[in-house]
Chain A
Amino acid sequence: MQIYKAPLRDMRFVLHELLDAKQLSKLPGYEEATADTIDTIIEEGAKFCQDKLLPLNRVGDEEGCTYENGVVRTPPGFKQAYNDFVGAGWQSISSDPNYGGQGLPALMNFVIEEMVCSTNIAFGVYPLLSRGAASLIERHGSDDIKETYLPHLADGSWSGTMCLTESQCGTDLGLIRTKAVPAGNGKYSISGSKIFISAGEHDLSENIIHLVLAKLPDAPEGVRGISLFLVPKLSVNGRGTAAEVGSRNGVACGSIEKKMGIHGSATCVINFDEAEGYLIGDPHKGLRCMFTMMNGARLGVGMQGLALGETAYQSATAYAKERRSGKSLTKGTKSADVADPIIVHPDVRNMLLTARAYNEGARALAYWTALQLDLSTHHPDAETRRDADEIVQLMTPVIKAFLTDRGFEAANLAVQVHGGHGYISEHGIEQLVRDARIAQLYEGTNGIQALDLVGRKLSLHTGRLLRHFFHPATEFVETNQETEELKDLVLPLAKALEKLQQATLVIAQKGLGDPEEAAAVATDYLKMFGLVAVGYMWLLMAEKAVAKAADANGDARFYANKLKTAQFYMHKLLPDASAAFLRIMTGKYAAAQFNEEDF
């Protein structure tokens, strides 16, 4: 059975004790983000998700979305849940307050997103895309567009999508064929067909705002010739709060996909037939704008990985405590006809702790990155903003890929803990595997994330982005190598960090001469980076836990468990970094020696 109770204690630990999230309330515009507000929001959010979204998760999977004559219906209960969701203001917590948003830190949105996706990832797709569309319009839209569209996206009456993929191209967007022709009055006529459009058509909102990549008639070839257009499903009359939906625009849903998981999320073919649209940003510079949305979405997808990992861990733990089979090898019951709960078995514990140690470490890494995102937009000092932004740039591919890989791994382990029952649909555990799988694919496959990390993020400003991670991590390790309570944890990380430095230098050097050398080890490198980054988070958490353990009162067990989990991470999970390191050092040779005919 899917079990989920929002891990509020752990969230508060990360938010308050590790990150001191109330520091955000000192930033102009974020004054309301006090510790109390933060706690209230996550508690209310937890209730909503547990009470309204979790119960819909199974039915959403079983019933899925349906398509008939261009109309898409979401699973039963979704519409009501959506109305409740937007009605309670969850859609707009970190949206621009000038346009109906609540203007709270993006960090809060991350926490909410985690809980939403833990309880119902398919549902979570809809608000994620609306939020992404809104942030793109906030950054790149004209005042007119902002006034007309943002309030409706904030109150959820309209929702958003991003339309990039076409049947002939996904990653390689230079090949898109959708056309945009100037139609006078600053409007454009958009024609073409997009596939894999999440939330492309549904019955949750009154209107759907598509953000569409297309080519103008005079567009240069390739990725330098892509423009971005806003295309509403229903045309919009008037502007600002007076904006009203009018007649149907030339936008139609051709079909929806049958797919492995997230059945409650409508994945649509969207056809544009001389649809009326508006240019966002400069002509031919649309990809840059779209990256605002994609980067946000990549972080959001990373949160989906963590979210499912958490549900998987909780469900598997509950089952392992309950299910009796076999006997403990040391201290189990003596009675011949009663078995021990399977949690006594070392192998089961290893599986549970693997999921847990990754989840808690990933949560710290993700929230830390989200905090940087807020600093990058709201800090008064330009240099702090730049540094924070660079951390976000560096960590985006790591969060997206590493967290979704670990989330999938956790879901898979949950099935394993359940044994054969995990494979049976009725228990709802196999759904987690199917749902988790998509996060490794969309918003740029994890392979693409790895290329982004080694090909782009590493080399930017001769490695300046890396400085924001390596310098504090190295300093922490150097400072705490002799700290009595920490040194057992510091030593393994120090070694892994040194190897990561070495691997980074080797990739940078080899990659200069032969980009394939870097590409061939990109996935290994991203994994290694993720392992070390999460390991560093574990050190920071352990430091706090040691400090708090002394006067912990009722929380002593929480801090003790933190330290134990840190130990588990350092000794059972971090060693994977060594294997990744060895693979990186091998370089491209092992695979490159095959010719295409050899396959």
Chain B
Amino acid sequence: MAINKVAVIGAGLMGGGIAAHVANAGTDVILLDIVPEGAKKRSQLALDSVERLLKTEPAPFMDKKNAKRIACGNIEDDLKLLADADWIIEAVIEKLEIKHEIYRLINKVRKPGSIVSSNTSTIPCSDLMRGMDESFQRDFLITHFFNPPRYMRLLEIVKGEKTSDDAVYTVSEFSDMNLGKGVVACKDTPGFIANRIGTFWIQAAVVEAFKGTVTIEEADAAIGRALGIPKTGIFGLMDLVGIDLMPLVGKSLYDAVPMDDAYRAIYSEPEQIKSMIAEGLIGRKGKGGFYRLNNEDGKKTKQVIDLATGAYSTAQRPTPASVRAAGKSPRALFEHGDAVSDFAWQVMSQTLVYATELIPEIAQDVVAVDKAMTLGYAWKHGPFELIDRIGASWFTERLKTEGRNIPALLASAAEKGGFYRVEGGRLQYLSTDDEYVTVKRAPGILLLSDIKRAGEPITRNGSASLWDIGSGVACLEFHTKMNAIDPDVLNMLSKSVEIVSRDYKALVLHNEGTNYSVGVNLGLALFAANVAAWQVMEDMIKRGQDVFKELKFAPFPVVGAPSGMALGGGCESLLHCDAVQAHAESYIGLVEVGVGLIPGWGGCKELLVRGLTGKRGGIFGGGAMPVISKLFQTIGLAKVSRSAAQAFGYGYLREGDRITFNRDRLLADARDYALELAENYQTPEPQEIKLPGNSARVALMMAVRGLAKTRKATPHDLTVVEQLGIVLTGGKTDTTEALCEDDISALERKALATLAKNPLTLARMEHMLETGKPLRN
């Protein structure tokens, strides 16, 4: 069965977020909630929810127009709408009787075979299904989304005893392909996988922190980089989630787990936390939490609570000796032996042992648990991957010396050398049968990391590698810091063109970094500018232009496959591709103006050519100005798309470019697309365009000067966009002259040479490197 329409019941935080994300996937959604007492509009709750979703940051919608796909209603008047829905998601309050009530209402109107699921995080599937009729039980399952639904990739699915395989398959498939989720099948056990371990982990941290040997900031510094855990740490995470939820979640898990579960042994309800909740100190949504932003004399300072006294003071940013010494090594962190190191050990060793004890109770294998923790809690390594990083035998030895219990699976991993191994180029995991089993990928999933495990690259240098990804397609991977583009990346691009021309059908640009590429290596550029190595800079710009040109006019198709940020030079690399297969979460933009520069590797040129030729060509006879003026705004304001969908509006993506929702499917989709293009491929023809020249630039600048007067633009903004204006209007040209692509490239270089010598530009570059934020000078 195909899912063409979805309904969400309950327009709260989760319900609304789920509805928004289903709309992102291009599917129509019905969003229903109760009729509130005394409301003017009977569907007020759903309407408010959509209103709120449009204002929330980070944005639940990939494009604001997706909100139109949500039809708002209420469960008194609009139940009949459910008759159209293929999948009905219940996301109401965690009260069994209320949920049953809703199910009975749904059951009256839903069409036969439609799927019903609950977004519960605490109620067992068996309880939810109890008393419902046979057909309902067949069509029912739990789909547990994580907050925020657009961004957290985990979806836990729990089937009941009677749930049909079809229902599970249909929902899994839709969630995977259309919503981009990493689906993990869970057993019907308390807290499922991620929250079972996550709640234990948080509880362990609270218990250890209340012993008073470390401060809150030290605790969050401890549970951080060395362990591959986001820098919010644990207390920062509680502030984010809401401290008020902690006792509820904690108590419900306490009541549900088996009597001998380790969680029951560490469970407590600290007075301090109770009184914080009583005072409304429930985290970011309240008036503060473990941290708060204090606004005094217009200055915002981050403050932190003292667990013993409850008083706030200015937060320090400690890098405890052990954390500093550890770097990215968890074992070094544990071995250091200071108070922070001991804290980290206590919290993590208990949590990791707990996770091991839960297999096979909550999941059949370690892979599912690792996937759940990485996708649901944003851990870089799941618990078992983490134990392998620590060293399973070292970890076990230390537990032994402390006289602690060693779960059998852990003992076995310690003996055999880890929970994972690579055998014959394939990743294997240690099963409960005490044997290594190959990790299976679903069809349509192609991971560069798997390819890398299996063999050597076609060629590589320190900054990039070229891989054979099968079917005659090669993949160029950047692997610099933040995947910045440096001279070696350019060299490898150029070499790839040569190799692919000879030996392959097509090329894909892709990597598995958090960000596809943040653009040119700014540090290198700034350093060259600081030593006045102008020729070096000029050569670097020219080299980038030349290499991207080679890419564009190569005798084979090139498909860009970005995920995350594709900024500046990263964006320009995509603009020179024949097509882009973008991950839905792609943030694309030409941001050079933010550092006082303009796009110089063909960003201006490609957008001009796209705007003025091809399908929309010929509009120049009087119509170039709207295109130029739009580009002037887009680049001048350093616009970055907040999703792949939005990138079309800016011109960073164009007709024919495609979107993949599931990151794990991105490379396979890109490869398929590249093969599609390789059939009868024809190299594009270089274009000529006509630009209006000086007078048009003057017109563009008039508008900007207005902004400067109202202080919306700084004096240096004017200097920078003046150069942008020169490039976009063609310099000293007029409409009678045809400019070739190289002419525009030359204009880009000239503009950059001017800007790179400007100390205000250098100050912007430096500020970006040191703070990660643009300087408004």
Tally of chain B residues near chain A (CB < 8 A): 21
Residues in chain A near residue B534, CB distance under 8 A: 474
Q: Are the CB atoms of B524 and A461 closer together than 8 Å?
A: no
Q: Which of A154-176 contact B (CB under 8 A)?
A: none
Q: Are the CB atoms of A463 and B530 closer together than 8 Å?
A: yes
Residues in chain B near residue A463, CB distance under 8 A: 526-527, 530-531
User: Is A502 on the interface with B (CB-CB < 8 A)?
Assistant: yes
Measured in the bound complex, the distance between the Cα atoms of B765 and A449 in whole Å is 29
The answer, among B321, B524, B759, for a CB contact under 8 Å with A220, is: B321
Q: Are the CB atoms of B533 and A505 closer together than 8 Å?
A: yes
User: Is B513 on the interface with A (CB-CB < 8 A)?
Assistant: no
Measured in the bound complex, the distance between the Cα atoms of B524 and A146 in whole Å is 45
**What residue of chain A has the Cβ atom nearest to residue B524's Cβ?**
A509
Residues in chain A near residue B529, CB distance under 8 A: 467
Q: Are the CB atoms of A466 and B530 closer together than 8 Å?
A: yes
User: Is A395 on the interface with B (CB-CB < 8 A)?
Assistant: no
Q: Write the nearest CB–CB distance from B340 to chain A, whole angstroms.
A: 13
Q: Which of B524-544 contact A (CB under 8 A)?
A: 524, 526-536
Q: Are the CB atoms of B321 and A505 closer together than 8 Å?
A: no
Measured in the bound complex, the distance between the Cα atoms of B536 and A220 in whole Å is 45
A interface residue count range (under 10 / 10 to 19 / 20 to 34 / 35 or more): 20 to 34
User: Is B774 on the interface with A (CB-CB < 8 A)?
Assistant: no
Contact flags (1/0) for B216-238 with A, using CB distance below 8 Å?
00000000000000000000000
Q: Are the CB atoms of A464 and B766 closer together than 8 Å?
A: yes
**What residue of chain A has the Cβ atom nearest to residue B462's Cβ?**
A513
Residues in chain A near residue B35, CB distance under 8 A: none
Residues in chain B near residue A464, CB distance under 8 A: 530, 762, 766
Measured in the bound complex, the distance between the Cα atoms of B275 and A87 in whole Å is 71
Q: Are the CB atoms of B762 and A467 closer together than 8 Å?
A: yes
Measured in the bound complex, the distance between the Cα atoms of B534 and A463 in whole Å is 15
User: Is A221 on the interface with B (CB-CB < 8 A)?
Assistant: yes
Q: Which of A457-472 contact B (CB under 8 A)?
A: 461-464, 466-467, 470-471
Measured in the bound complex, the distance between the Cα atoms of B537 and A501 in whole Å is 12
User: Is A189 on the interface with B (CB-CB < 8 A)?
Assistant: no
Q: Write the nearest CB–CB distance from A510 to chain B, whole angstroms.
A: 11
User: Is B769 on the interface with A (CB-CB < 8 A)?
Assistant: yes
Answer whether A504 and B321 are a contact pair too, CB < 8 Å, given A461-B766, A467-B762, A509-B524.
Answer: no
Residues in chain B near residue A502, CB distance under 8 A: 533, 536
User: Is A508 on the interface with B (CB-CB < 8 A)?
Assistant: yes
Residues in chain A near residue B526, CB distance under 8 A: 462-463
Measured in the bound complex, the distance between the Cα atoms of B765 and A466 in whole Å is 15
The answer, among A221, A461, A462, A501, for a CB contact under 8 Å with B532, is: A501
Residues in chain B near residue A470, CB distance under 8 A: 530-532
**What residue of chain A has the Cβ atom nearest to residue B762's Cβ?**
A467
Measured in the bound complex, the distance between the Cα atoms of B762 and A505 in whole Å is 17
Measured in the bound complex, the distance between the Cα atoms of B533 and A463 in whole Å is 12
Q: Are the CB atoms of A505 and B531 closer together than 8 Å?
A: yes
Contact flags (1/0) for B194-233 with A, using CB distance below 8 Å?
0000000000000000000000000000000000000000
Q: Which of A207-255 contact B (CB under 8 A)?
A: 220-221
Measured in the bound complex, the distance between the Cα atoms of B463 and A513 in whole Å is 12
Measured in the bound complex, the distance between the Cα atoms of B529 and A501 in whole Å is 10
**What residue of chain B has the Cβ atom nearest to residue A387's Cβ?**
B759
User: Is B651 on the interface with A (CB-CB < 8 A)?
Assistant: no
Q: Are the CB atoms of B770 and A505 closer together than 8 Å?
A: no
Answer whether A462 and B530 are a contact pair too, CB < 8 Å, given A467-B762, A501-B536, A505-B536.
Answer: yes
Residues in chain A near residue B766, CB distance under 8 A: 461-462, 464
Q: Which of B4-44 contact A (CB under 8 A)?
A: none
Q: Write the nearest CB–CB distance from B531 to chain A, whole angstroms.
A: 5
Residues in chain A near residue B770, CB distance under 8 A: 461-462
Measured in the bound complex, the distance between the Cα atoms of B526 and A467 in whole Å is 10
Q: Which of A479-524 contact B (CB under 8 A)?
A: 498, 500-502, 504-505, 508-509, 513
User: Is B280 on the interface with A (CB-CB < 8 A)?
Assistant: no
Answer whether A467 and B321 are a contact pair too, CB < 8 Å, given A461-B770, A501-B536.
Answer: no
Q: Are the CB atoms of A462 and B769 closer together than 8 Å?
A: yes
Q: Write the nearest CB–CB distance from A465 to chain B, whole angstroms.
A: 8
Residues in chain B near residue A505, CB distance under 8 A: 527-528, 531, 533, 536
Measured in the bound complex, the distance between the Cα atoms of B530 and A466 in whole Å is 6
15 pairs, A vs B, C-beta closer than 8 Å: A461-B770, A462-B523, A462-B527, A463-B526, A463-B531, A464-B762, A467-B531, A467-B532, A470-B530, A470-B531, A471-B532, A473-B532, A475-B532, A501-B536, A509-B524
Question: Which B residues contact A (CB, under 8 angstroms)?
Answer: 321, 462, 523-524, 526-536, 759, 762, 765-766, 769-770
The 7 closest A-B pairs by CB, nearest first: A463-B530, A474-B532, A470-B532, A463-B527, A467-B530, A501-B533, A470-B531
